[in-house]
């Protein structure tokens, strides 16, 4: 049975299950982690902590992405838009699993604030979806644009020898570009400048917090 035949109750139950799994740190990748065969980097303690901080930020970003896509899929007006959100969410779950695995390899942990980040992002996604599919898609385009820029900055900040982390971040960046392009092709509406500015500020607060906790 395809998703277009699912009832609102089905989607509610599925969404609740996804939320619990994300918050509990349960994520399964459908693709091998990038850089899996790369040698372990020789990192100093400072470099290891810095790489872990950046990867924790990226993991939080994926927690937020799951919340956004889950809420937007639940309240999408058409099956086509819902299916695109669900497809993007599945690829973002790969990112969630990859970053969690890398944090473990770096001897670090995911953010203790993940439940709060998930709840806030789910609320934002719900508001965007209730404004209609065009605006919801526009929210995706702007989100992915800002995430792409953020990931590009991490490629510049990560230790050059940390090939494993860099491979993960680069593949995430490519996927985010594709998700934004897909949303644009489905008829995304341009987000007003004030909304973009608020999104930028909120993203900055999230990244500055998640780096440490």
pLDDT tens digits, one per residue of 82-130: 999 999 999 999 999 999 999 999 999 999 999 999 999 999 999 999 9
Question: Is the confidence at residue 28, as pLDDT, over 50?
Answer: yes
Which pLDDT belongs to residue 3?
45
Burial class of residue 206, CB neighbours in 10 A (0-12, 13-18, 19+): buried
Rounded CA-CA distance 173/188 in Å is 20
The answer to whether residues 206 and 64 touch, using CB atoms and an 8 Å cutoff, is yes
Which pLDDT belongs to residue 13?
72
Task: Give the position of tokens 């995706």.
Answer: 140
Residues marked as binding? 62, 92, 95, 144, 176, 179
Rounded CA-CA distance 59/70 in Å is 17
Within 10 angstroms of residue 182's Cβ, the number of other Cβ atoms is 18
Label residues 58-71 b or e (16+ Cβ within 10 Å = b).
bbbbbbbbbbbbbb
Average pLDDT over residues 140-166: 97
Which pLDDT belongs to residue 168?
98
Q: What is the domain partition of the chain in residue ranges?
A: 44-210
Fold assignment, 44-210: Ferritin (1.20.1260)
Q: What is the pTM of this model?
A: 0.90
Residues marked as binding for Fe cation? 62, 92, 95, 144, 176, 179
The predicted-structure confidence for 42-96, as pLDDT tens digits, reads as follows 999 999 999 999 999 999 999 999 999 999 999 999 999 999 999 999 999 999 9
Structure-token pair, residue 183: 């949303």
DSSP structure string for 176-213? HHHHHHHHHHTTPPPPPHHHHHHHHHHHHHHHHHHTT-
Q: Which distant-in-sequence residues (6+ apart) come within 8 Å of 107 by Cβ?
A: 48, 52
């Amino acid at each position: 049975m395809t998703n277009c035949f699912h009832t609102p109750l089905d989607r509610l139950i599925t969404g609740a299950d996804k939320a619990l799994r994300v918050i509990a740190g349960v994520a399964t990748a459908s693709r091998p982690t990038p850089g899996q065969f790369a040698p372990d980097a020789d990192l100093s303690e400072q470099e290891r902590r810095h790489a872990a901080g950046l990867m924790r930020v990226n993991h939080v970003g994926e927690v937020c992405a799951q919340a956004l896509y889950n809420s937007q899929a639940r309240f999408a007006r058409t099956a086509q838009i819902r299916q695109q959100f669900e497809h993007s969410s599945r690829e973002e779950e790969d990112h969630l699993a990859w970053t969690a695995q890398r944090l473990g390899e770096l001897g670090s942990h995911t953010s203790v604030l993940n439940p709060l980040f998930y709840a806030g992002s789910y609320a934002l996604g719900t508001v965007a979806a209730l404004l209609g599919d065009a605006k919801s898609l526009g929210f995706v385009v702007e989100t992915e644009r800002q995430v792409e820029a953020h990931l590009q900055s991490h490629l510049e900040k990560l230790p050059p020898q940390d090939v494993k982390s860099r491979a993960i971040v680069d593949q995430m960046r490519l996927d985010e570009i594709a998700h934004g392009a897909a949303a644009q092709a489905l008829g995304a509406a341009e987000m007003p400048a004030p909304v973009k500015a608020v999104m930028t500020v909120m993203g900055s607060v999230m990244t500055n917090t998640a780096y440490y906790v």
